[in-house]
Amino acid sequence: MVSRKKKKTIKQTGKKKGTGRLPFVKVSVFLLLIIFVAFALYVKHLDRVIRQKFDGKRWSLPAVVYARPLELYPGLPLSAEKLEKELQLAGYRREDVAADPGGYDRHGDIVHLVTRDFYFADGLQKSVKLTVQFGGDSIESIAGSDSQQRLSLARLDPARIGSFHPRHHEDRIVLTRDDLPDLLVKTLLAVEDQDFYSHSGLSFRGIARALLANIRAGETVQGGSTLSQQLVKNFFLSNRRTLQRKFNEAIMTLLLELHYSKDEILTAYANEVFLGQDGARAVHGFGLAGQFYFRRDLEDLAAAQIALLVGMVKGPSYYNPLKYPERCLKRRQLVLDMMFSRAVIDEEVYQQARTASIETKGGTKGGFNRFPAFLDLVRRQLRLDYQEEDLTTDGLKILTTLDPQVQWQVEKNLAETISALEKRTGVSGIEGAVIVSSREGGEILAVAGGRKPLQTGFNRAIDARRSIGSLIKPAVYLTALVNGFTLASPVQDTSVNIDDGKGGTWRPKNFDGKEHGRVPLYEALAHSYNQATVKIGMDVGLGKVQQTVSDLGVDKEFPPYPSFLLGAAAMVPLEVSQMFQTLAAGGFYVPQRVIGSVLSADNKVLQRFGLSVEQRFKPESIYLLNTALQLAVKEGTGKSLSRYIPFSHKVAGKTGTSNDLRDSWFAGFSGDKLSVVWLGRDDNKPTGLTGASGALAVWGKIMQSLHAEPLDLLEPPGIEWAWVDPEILEMSGPFHHKKVKLPFIAGSIPKQIVETPLPVPENKKTDPGILDRIRNWFR
């Protein structure tokens, strides 16, 4: 009986134990199910991250900005030294014998070069080999290097001068799989991932092999991560070393391999890999690295150069050939040994490569974002038509009007002249701004936003709004000429009292403190007489003068105070440049521009910024005014310009000085170029400089260095000439010692001055330029 009870008890106890295990199993299964679902959802999330980024726009491509293409022709005033400097800016490399695109050699006065393929707005221009012969400071002849056929014109591919990056400042040249040289691919796989085409993303054999190789070498010579893992790490993940990141890396690598082919992954890796730093710009991808370190396209790299780039993958900063050439050389040798041992290269190539020096070209920083003031103006103009995202992600190609030869002279002469002026005056902190444009076309060729050309930030050429002083006077006198005055009209340069509109009286004075009495109108402008100018302006009407300023291209409202007539109005140098551009163009409003055309990333033309012309003034009135501006340089406030530009060049210009010598201005034009110069201090304190003693000197040195062409104004029909004695404003013979020959609109010569009009001057211009031909359309 006892034994049966025990058995029964045992059975009951066993039943209870089995019943207790069941809930635990269920909970465990439920938890595992939750973990599996969570894991599946997380994997799906990672999968979505990969596909969204990899299927969409993989990289934000910055807009790339180019200078104008250099056009070579016999007779061009360009020395071999200046050509070489521009070739360096454009990323050309000097070689013993130029053979490949982007190379040049120079032997005395002969330069051989091979241009690179480039897409212009008018299509693809293929690479050509050129021989340029110089004679002194100009080009003597141009010929094809192979055919020796003489050429009348050759256009070089332009220098890349900057780009507009997104916030992370990455840059790259995106390549396709066909763009990747076979030698690069084999070397990369030999060093970084030998089993790339056979593994599924993770390679435990590769990890073991790398570990063994590192132990044998006594240092890290190989990595254990596959190319797919490295791409995931660089493309999708941060640099934080955590278990979660390693977990994500493994899962995302498998997913990447699941969705995309090996060639797609390899190409993405070649475009994404980080290979150095160029200031704030991060150099990504082998394509850009080849340009940055060697100034060569990837397909033109030698075995030693490819070995160097592949070796840098391990540590771009540590193995930077520009900073640590010895480390880089040692690393390159390890890569070359691996290339040879794995039959990537033969012994002959190996021996040549191992003895090759590290011939980096110092990076391409010489031309990259080298001209920040000009690039600032380009960006502002682009923002009128494009969103900021378009400029930093779509890979636009911006072909601009920048002339590096002009820009260099502007920067040099501005900085040197300011330093000399500071020593002479004892005033420090003087700053400046310069804008140079083509006289007829309005293309802005150079911009300086300060005396330090590489300094970014405040761009004085665009943002320094300062009183322009007597630069307003051409607008005053043009208004008078349009309203019946002549260059010989007598005006009174005597004291004047005007209600200032604030309950007080305004009494303007001349700069020399004197009154000059009765003078002809042209003399009042040439010598910048304030009192005569105010009387003329009040006579024709302040509103009409302000309308003239608007018609000249400065479309903004100014307070209607009489002080406006003496330049109390504030403008930026760019606005002054546009105002004088209309004068230089013969009364035609030609909007100044810095962009020629915009191309898409696939080289399709998106927009052209062509020549736009609108006639704003009659050519006869502009001709009279410009003649007076020539006299201002010949005998007026600008006569000291003869130290730089001969009188025979007949340039036209005007000085400007604000109250207390705070601002020094000079604006003028030659036969081919217009330039505006401003000098002043950022704190608006006096500089001790007038327009003639400050800005004029900068203007003269710049235009002298640019070999400014003589200004021969095209005389419009209906102009008559007469000799005038400026002191008595009566007829004068050509031999009178105080004579001056002045143009008049037909029928406007006063009877007391002359009885018979004089013949047209012998030096009348007969060869019309672009705007001269356009002017004929309006007749």
Which residues are known to be catalytic? 192, 470
- CA within 13 Å, CB half, 20: 6
CA angle 108, 109, 111 (to 5 degrees): 95
Alpha-helical runs (H) found in 455-591: 460-463, 473-482, 521-526, 530-540, 542-551, 573-584
What are the tokens at 567? 């330049």
d(CA 722, CA 295): 62
Residue 276 vs residues 64, 172, 338, 502: alpha-carbon distances, Å:
19, 11, 23, 63
d(CA 36, CA 44): 12
Q: Are the CB atoms for 594 and 615 separated by under 8 Å?
A: no
**What type of residue is 302?**
A
Strands 281-284 and 170-171: parallel
d(CA 570, CA 559): 11
Torsions phi, psi of 208, nearest 5?
Answer: -65, -40
Q: Are the CB atoms for 199 and 226 separated by under 8 Å?
A: yes
Which H or E run contains 118?
Answer: strand 118-120
Separation of first and last alpha carbons in the chain: 138
**What type of residue is 437?**
S
Torsions phi, psi of 325, nearest 5?
Answer: -60, -35
How large is the angle between the packed helices 243-259 and 2-55, nearest 10 degrees?
70
d(CA 445, CA 437): 5
Burial class (CB in 10 A: 0-12, 13-18, 19+), 606: middle
Residue among 657, 652, 766 nearest 703 (CA): 652
- Residues whose CB falls within 8 Å of the CB of residue 393, separated by 6 or more in sequence, listed in order: 57, 60, 61, 62, 166
CA angle 303, 306, 311 (to 5 degrees): 125
Residue 513: other Cβ atoms inside 10 A:
6
Residue 78: other Cβ atoms inside 10 A:
18
Q: Are the CB atoms for 135 and 149 separated by under 8 Å?
A: no
| Core vs surface per residue 124-150: b (16+ CB within 10 A) or e | ebeebbbbbebeeeebeebbeeeeeee
d(CA 192, CA 339): 12
Residue among 230, 257, 222 nearest 342 (CA): 222
Query: Three-state SS for 145?
Result: coil
